Every structure is written in C-alpha cells, then in structure tokens.
C-alpha cells in the first residue's frame, strides 16, 4: 500500500476494482486547507481517462504488474498479434490496450507485455524506436537542423514533424511517449 503522495507518472494502481495508469498528477495545498493530489488516470481496460481528487493520506493499492518480452507478429483490423518470447504462445491485444502506441509498432518489434494476476492488461513500447521515412517533401540545399520542420510519414503510417534536412528513406529515431523526432539514425 502507498499513499496518494507516492504517485508517479506511469504507476499502475487498483482503483474501484479496475487497473489505472497514472498519466499526470499534481499535489496541491490551497491556502489553509488540507492538501490533496489531483490525478489523471487512464483505465487500462476501457481506455477512458478519469480525473480524481485524492486526500494526501488516502491509501492506494499499487498493482504488481509483471512485464515479459513479446514479439509483434501482425495486425488484423483492431487486433494486434504477439508471440511470447519465452513460451512461444501467441495472443492478441485490442486497440484500447495498445493505448496509442501502435502507430510506432512494426512487424518483428519487441515490446514488454504487462500482466496482472495472469491477465494481459497492456503493453509497453521501448522509449524510442527507429523508423524509415516513406513520404515527405524533399529537403532543399542549405536547410539546416535549426531552420524549421516539416511533416513526414513513417513506415508505420505515423506522421510527425521532422527537421527540413530529413528526406525520404532516411531512418529517424522517435520518442514513443511523446511522438517527437529525436535524431536521424545511421542507416
């Protein structure tokens, strides 16, 4: 057990019988009233965002989530199929469990599958991935790294802003948490 003051972004808690991921929190102390923690949490089953105010000394049950590696095999409509790297069992996750990370996922990638009480509750992508740019406007000679940005479509279909010097077929590193361009990777 922990208190609301122990919240951390990414922490998984049990709240009202469901699992929630803490996406944001703020500790507030208004005037001469008691302090509280305002938390934004995402339900891991439904994907719904919930805001809740916790008293500073509310007891919170931290979920003991186990992570194990799995390889992404393929996508079929809104289902994503994986293979457990240890047992070689195949399973699928729906789009809600992917929580928006699927736009950076390509066949063969390894992710950490999260389980709680032997039930799969989600997956965690690596912090950054390398992807090929498949479409963008051509760079112009003289464009520099600090000169601006342009949209680029990646091999997974994700669109992000990249510097002007990035061209089609370049490999870029992307932060999967924010969807931001990090750097051009070596080919």
Instruction: State the chain's mean pLDDT as an integer.
Output: 87
Candidate from 38-42, 138-142, 172-176 with smallest mean pLDDT: 138-142
Burial of 18 (0-12, 13-18, 19+ CB in 10 A): middle
Assign 141 a pLDDT band (cuts: 50, 70, 90): low
CATH code of the domain containing 57? 2.30.30.30
Mean pLDDT of the 31-49 span: 86
- On whether both 40 and 9 belong to a single domain, the answer is yes
Q: Are residues 16 and 58 in the same domain?
A: yes
Phi and psi at residue 151, in whole multiples of 5°? -75, 145
Which residues neighbour 144 within 8 Å (Cβ) at sequence distance 6 or greater? 164, 165
The predicted pLDDT at position 33 comes to 81
What was the pLDDT predicted at 153? 93
The CATH number of the domain where 77 resides is what?
A: 2.40.50.140
Is the four-CA dihedral 31, 35, 36, 37 of positive or negative sign? positive
Domain end position, chosen among 62, 89, 109: 62
Please give the residue range of the domain that contains residue 143.
128-184
Q: Which of 96-110, 134-148, 161-175 has the lowest mean pLDDT?
A: 134-148
> 144: pLDDT confidence band, cut at 50, 70 and 90?
low
**What is the distance between the alpha carbons of residues 134 and 32, in angstroms, rounded to a whole number?**
57
Alpha-carbon gap, residue 183 to 173, rounded angstroms: 5
Distance CA 154, CA 168 (A): 9
Residue 129: phi and psi, rounded to 5, are -135, 160
Same structural domain for residues 53 and 9?
yes
- At residue 142 the predicted structure's pLDDT band, cuts being 50, 70 and 90, is low
Residue after which a domain boundary falls, among 100, 124, 148:
124
């Amino acid at each position: 057990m922990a208190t609301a003051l122990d919240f951390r972004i990414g922490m998984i808690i049990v709240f009202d019988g469901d699992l929630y991921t803490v996406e944001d929190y703020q500790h507030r102390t208004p005037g001469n009233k008691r302090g509280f923690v305002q938390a934004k949490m995402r339900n891991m089953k439904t994907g719904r965002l919930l805001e809740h105010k916790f008293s500073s000394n509310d007891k919170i049950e931290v979920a003991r989530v186990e992570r194990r590696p799995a390889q992404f095999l393929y996508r079929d409509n809104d289902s994503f199929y994986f293979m457990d790297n240890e047992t070689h069992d195949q399973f699928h996750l729906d789009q809600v469990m992917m929580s928006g990370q699927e736009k950076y996922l390509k066949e063969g990638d390894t992710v950490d599958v999260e389980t709680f009480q032997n039930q799969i509750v989600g997956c965690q992508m690596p912090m950054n991935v390398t992807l090929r740019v498949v479409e963008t406007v051509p760079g112009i000679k003289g464009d520099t790294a600090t000169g601006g940005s342009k949209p680029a479509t990646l091999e997974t279909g994700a669109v992000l802003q990249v510097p002007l010097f990035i061209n089609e077929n370049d490999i870029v590193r992307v932060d999967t948490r924010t969807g931001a361009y990090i750097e051009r990777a070596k080919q």
